Structure formats: structure tokens, C-alpha cells
Amino acid sequence: MVRTITSAWVAAACLATIATLQSSVAAVDQKATNKTATKSIPPATLTGCLQAHGTKYVLTDLQGYVGPTGRSWKTGFIKKTPKDIEVVSESSTLKLKDHVGHQITVTGVQDHPVRVKASSIKQLAPSCS
């Protein structure tokens, strides 16, 4: 009889603990969802030369860009230059292929330090010189 009562108390304590843990996990998930919903990425405007690298489009020779830098064998690994930014079109109306070799300004969301999802493109010059 004592074992039965003790077992019942232990089972009830375990169920209460599980219910408490589930409610606290749900509260943490709700807070995380609220943080990501309120955090929005501001639009970025980048100016440079659009080049095609295989199936990807890359913005090179960035002007006024303060972001990740790298070193190249071309400069003897001495001079740091801005890394090239991959340009991804958000819609099918942007024709990146038509702007290859041109100096352009891209406006969009920079979701990664080396990638921007372009929402608009403006051609500044017909060549990258």
C-alpha cells in the first residue's frame, strides 16, 4: 500500500515537472519569434561594377563600401580591398544579364555580408572604367 501511494506521488511530481518545462519552453519560443519578427534588415545601396562569374553575378570595385575586406595575390597580400558582393535578383523583372560590364547602383536587402538581394538597379555608366 505504501509503495502504491509513493508511486502515485512520484508520478504526479513528474507530470507537474513536465508541464512546467513545456510551458517555459513555449514562452522562450514565443520570445524568440517576437524578436525575429520585430528585427528587420534595412535596405542597402551599393555602387560598383557588375560582373558575371559563371551563373552568379558579382558587384566588384565597390565605391564607399565599408564591409568585409580581403587580401589578394594581385596586391601581394598587403593591401586590403573590399570583398566582391554577390547580387541576387529578388524578382524576375530585374535583368542582371543586361547590366554586366556596367557601373551600377544596386538597392536591396543585404542578408549576408557578401550577398545582396537586389530590388532595383540603376545604371550609372555604360562601362566600368
Q: For residue range 81-101, what is the model confidence (pLDDT) as tens digits?
A: 667 888 888 777 888 888 899
For residue 53, what pLDDT is reported?
Answer: 86
pLDDT value at residue 103: 92
What is each CA distance from 29 to 24, 26, 38, 82, 124, in whole angstroms? Answer: 9, 5, 14, 38, 46
pLDDT for 18-33, tens place per residue? 766 566 656 556 655 5
State residue 33's pLDDT score.
55
Taking 50 as the threshold, does the pLDDT of residue 37 lie above it? no
Q: At the top level of CATH, which class does the domain 43-125 belong to?
A: mainly beta
